[in-house]
Amino acid sequence: MKLSISKSIIALVLGAGLTAQAGIFTYSGGSYSIPDGSLAGVSSQISVSGLNYQLADITVTLNLSGGYNGDLYAYLSYDGKLVPLLNRIGVTSGNAFGSSGAGMTVTFNDFGSLGDIHSAGNGVLNGAYQADGRNISPLSSGSSFDSASRATLDGTFGFGVNPVDPNGVWTLFFADVSSGGGTATLNSWSLNITAVPEPVNVALGCFTGVFLVVSLVRSQRLRKLIAAR
């Protein structure tokens, strides 16, 4: 029984360093308009705190109404990095004006089942998409959108050479880059972030677990030697 309990304690210690944390963080300000036809745009922030060191996965939720989806440009930025969430939906070499929808309630993550939102059609959009990710000027030609490479949310902020500590201020920038399509309103936005411990903490946790295992084995051998005398 004692050995069984000891094994359980060791398993918990070894696993503790690998425990992931998740949190949903919502913009606390009210809804606001996105100026029609202004590259200057408008931004808002969400402060994240209380999570482990390394971002592992992120989902962004947006709720907008009105305006013209094909005019909108939006990016999420943090720690000197950014990912375009929207970059003039539907603009291609064959469609200079983009999609004619007026609003959306969507989530963005790297596994969005509806695919790249740039390919979304007309009408109000709903569901899970992948971020546009085309880090080019929203005033680029349609052919530039056709050939542009795409950044991903987890690939930019998550696991990699320099994964970010998610605890800090995240910024959402929005602009309506072409006048005449009406004024869009951002009603709400939020972040759903999963994070894992700093590598050094994981290593220390594993080292502690190994140390306990070795100590337990030695203790049991010593008891056996004493009992045999």
pLDDT digits (tens, 9 = 90+) for 177-215: 999 989 999 999 999 999 998 654 443 344 344 444 444
Q: Which residue has the higher pLDDT, 222 or 101?
A: 101
Q: How confident is the model at residue 158 (pLDDT cuts 50, 70, 90)?
A: confident
pLDDT at 199: 58
**pLDDT tens per residue across span 3-46:** 343 334 334 433 444 578 999 999 999 999 999 999 999 999 99
Between 171 and 200, residue with greater pLDDT:
171
Q: What is the DSSP letter of 62?
A: E
pLDDT (0 to 100) of residue 68: 97
Task: Locate 35 and state its tokens.
Answer: 């100026």
Between CA 137 and CA 146, with CA 141 as vertex, the angle to 5 degrees is 95
Q: Are 122 and 104 in contact (CB under 8 A)?
A: no
Confidence of residue 145 (pLDDT cuts 50, 70, 90): very high
Concatenate the DSSP letters of all residues of 60-121 into one string: EEEEEEES-GGGEEEEEEETTEEEEEEESTT-BTTBSS-----EEEEEE-TT-TT-BGGG--
User: Taking residues 215-219, what's their average pLDDT?
Assistant: 49
Greater confidence (159 vs 97) lies with 97
Average pLDDT over residues 107-128: 97
107 band by pLDDT with thresholds 50, 70 and 90 = very high
Give the mean model confidence (pLDDT) for residues 117-136.
Answer: 97
Q: What is the pTM of this model?
A: 0.79
Tokens of 40: 């200057």
Mean pLDDT of the region 163-189: 95
pLDDT (tens digit, 9 = 90+) per residue, 49-84? Answer: 999 889 999 999 999 999 999 999 999 999 999 999
Tell me what pLDDT residue 46 has: 98
* CATH number of the 21-196 domain: 2.60.120.260
Tell me the H-state helices in the chain. 2-16, 142-147, 153-157, 199-228
